[in-house]
Amino acid sequence: MLKDKKILIAVTGSIAAYKIASLVRLLIKAKAKVQVIMTESASEFITPLTLATLSKNPVYTSFYKSENGEWNNHVELGLWADIMLVAPASANTIAKMSSGICDSLLMATYLSAKCPVAFAPAMDLDMYQHPSTKENIAKLIAFGHEMIAPGTGELASGLMGEGRMAEPEEIVSYLENKLNPINFYTNKNILVTAGPTYEAIDPVRFIGNASSGKMGYALAEAFAEKGANVTLISGPTNLKAHHSNIQTISITSAAEMYAAVQSNFEKTEIFVMAAAVADYTPTLQVKEKIKKTTGEMNVELTKTIDILKYIGEHKSKNQISIGFALETENELSNAQSKLKSKNADLIILNSLKDKGAGFNGDYNKVTMLDKQGLVEEYELKTKSKVAEDILQKITQL
């Protein structure tokens, strides 16, 4: 879960600095990318060489590289990171962070970092209890930083109490939770529709369409992978969902899809309507196979219920609905009007004009239009990569 996450560890002077060696080792084992910066006093507690070897990156302590007089760019480090973790965070560094004292590379990096900042205090019981430390910590929290709270136990001073830096395993699980949008989807109830619907004319003939269901199945897999409970309502396809978080309901017609959506309506938090639902169904479904006659034949059609529109009209403020629009002309304006008329929160537009994208292929090229009026055009990608983009977008809605 931490694969390729960029973690900048800022080590300050505290006896707990020795724990950073095992923290770095755990993060590298989890395939994270780690860079370490230290204060001068931190290097009294653990050598930069140890952390450089474990992190597989140079460790920076000052603005200048001693060997050639080059400058260590603190702005770049702050921009590179997905998170800056100050650990151990000494009382001294916490005080400097709260008042913006810039007297080291570490502090300059902190002051210029654009990423989230977390800090894991480590200090003696009385220092931790001191009103000025408490006030400084409260200030950091007010800045939006998160504290990985210290534990209670034996301290370096021999005293017992609060102030022991969180264990490396706890810090790793904090980082996993913080850096994975997985948490947004964990245990969320998601309903996905996929594939075509078949509208029977007689027992052997139907009106259908060429939808393969691949986009809807890719979405269901992506949600399930992130810990959501997925109800996949699927029209006839050759696909099978494998993830244990996916419950598949197989249906054939638009009316059956509507009934399945209705019976799962209350519990659903996010509706994603990727199915190509027939807009019309034969008015009469003939019980026996229709025999050909000499003359012409007409099939009278009746409108099916627009399921996405139904959801838009009945959803509560805790439910969101996402629709697809497949257009061949006036793509953007048609998609805009679907967003409005179906009261959707997001419309994923695919145009048949886009080369390589379409019903049966493995690729798709989408434009997402949200309720706030934002229109975002994406590159041609595999349907599972498109699913990832859609999941990412939903977290912003």
Q: List contacts with ligand CTP (CB under 6 A).
A: 193, 254, 273, 275, 277, 279, 304, 306-308, 323-326, 338
Query: Using CA atoms, how far apart are residues 79 and 103, in angstroms rounded to an integer?
Result: 20
Among residues 166 and 257, whose Cβ is nearest to ligand CTP? 257
Among residues 51 and 254, whose Cβ is nearest to ligand CTP? 254
Smallest gap from residue 245 Cβ to ligand CTP (A)? 22
How far apart, in Å, are the Cα atoms of 264 and each of 127, 193, 331?
A: 55, 12, 31
Smallest gap from residue 321 Cβ to ligand CTP (A)? 9
CB-based contact 214:238 (threshold 8 Å)? no
Whose tokens are 């399930």? That residue is: 224
* Helices marked H in 226-368: 254-263, 307-314, 331-341
Question: What is the separation of C-alpha 331 from the centre of its chain, rounded to a whole number of angstroms?
Answer: 28
Among residues 84 and 277, whose Cβ is nearest to ligand CTP? 277
CB-based contact 359:211 (threshold 8 Å)? yes
Task: Please name the helix (run of DSSP H) or strand (run of DSSP E) that holds residue 206, with its range, or none.
Answer: strand 206-207
Among residues 57, 180, 209, 343, which one is catalytic? 209
Smallest gap from residue 74 Cβ to ligand CTP (A)? 48
Q: List, in order, residues 6 or more apart from 154 with CB less than 8 Å away.
A: 160, 164
Among residues 338 and 381, whose Cβ is nearest to ligand CTP? 338
Among residues 191 and 275, whose Cβ is nearest to ligand CTP? 275
Query: Using CA atoms, how far apart are residues 96 and 266, in angstroms rounded to an integer?
Result: 51
Smallest gap from residue 187 Cβ to ligand CTP (A)? 25
- Residue 8: closest CA among 121, 87, 99: 87
Smallest gap from residue 128 Cβ to ligand CTP (A)? 55
Smallest gap from residue 255 Cβ to ligand CTP (A)? 10
Query: Using CA atoms, how far apart are residues 108 and 312, in angstroms rounded to an integer?
Result: 50
Among residues 89 and 278, whose Cβ is nearest to ligand CTP? 278
In what side-by-side order are the strands of the sheet with 59-60?
Answer: 59-60, 33-38, 6-11, 83-89, 117-121, 146-147
Is 72 part of the annotated catalytic residue set?
Answer: no
How far apart, in Å, are the Cα atoms of 244 and each of 122, 173, 271?
A: 42, 24, 19
- Residue 313: closest CA among 277, 335, 342: 342
Query: Using CA atoms, how far apart are residues 86 and 121, in angstroms rounded to an integer?
Result: 8
Smallest gap from residue 306 Cβ to ligand CTP (A)? 4
Query: What count of Cα atoms within 13 Å lies in the side-chain half-sphere of residue 378?
Result: 24
Among residues 230 and 273, whose Cβ is nearest to ligand CTP? 273
Catalytically active residues are: 209
